[in-house]
Amino acid sequence: MLTGSVLGQPVPVSTITSSVAKTRVQVAVVHNAEETVLSMPTDHVKNRTFKETLSGSVRFKVPFFQRGYAWEKKQWDQLFLDIQEQIIEELERGSALDEVEHFFGPIVVMEQMGPPEVREFLVVDGQQRITTVYLLLGIIRDQIRAKKHLSGDAHAYLDELKKYVFNDVAGADD
């Protein structure tokens, strides 16, 4: 039997689902028709932007029961269309960058104890979205790096992106 760990408790892994209720996050694990429900209070549930979520030294732990990255061209095309219609066109109409929003979908993470210099989160839901944002930031970084000779601001943009893509922690492996 394959087992895993959710919230530090060993669980069999055949089906794992999660839900967010008004006052609790619940993770249900089903194996051989037996269901185990683990829950935690949502006293500290917050809506955050990606900038807030990715700022500072952050480590996302993706449990082995999460599916592998599965976005394909269809999902990327939809993302780029959403960015064009909901962000770029808004900016072209004169909106300030801080005023423009795009709902990218929910991300459910549980903060875990880790080294004091790194905020660690167990990913319950949203692994595809988190991975996509990091991939997109990496692609943007590579494009700026390849064309940095065209703009005097390129180095400043690269320095800003580095804050979101790399943890600046001595001896860290991520």
Q: To the nearest 10°, report the CA torsion of 48, 51, 53, 54.
A: 170
Contact 130, 108 (CB under 8 A): no
pLDDT tier for residue 12 given thresholds of 50, 70 and 90: very low
3-state helix, strand, coil in the chain (%, to 5): 35, 25, 35
Give the SS3 label for residue 171: coil
What's the pLDDT score for residue 68?
86
CA angle 138, 144, 148 (to 5 degrees): 150
Residue 72 has pLDDT above 90, yes or no: yes
Measured between its terminal Cα atoms, the distance across the chain in Å is 31
Amino acid at position 163, single letter: K
pLDDT in tens, 97-149: 888 887 878 888 888 887 788 888 888 888 888 889 889 989 999 999 999 99
pTM over 0.75: no
Domain ranges of the chain: 1-45, 46-70+99-165
CA angle 101, 105, 106 (to 5 degrees): 115
Q: Which residue has the higher pLDDT, 64 or 3?
A: 64
Helices 127-146 and 154-165, packing angle to 10 deg:
160
pLDDT in tens, 20-64: 444 455 555 454 556 555 555 566 667 777 777 777 788 888 888
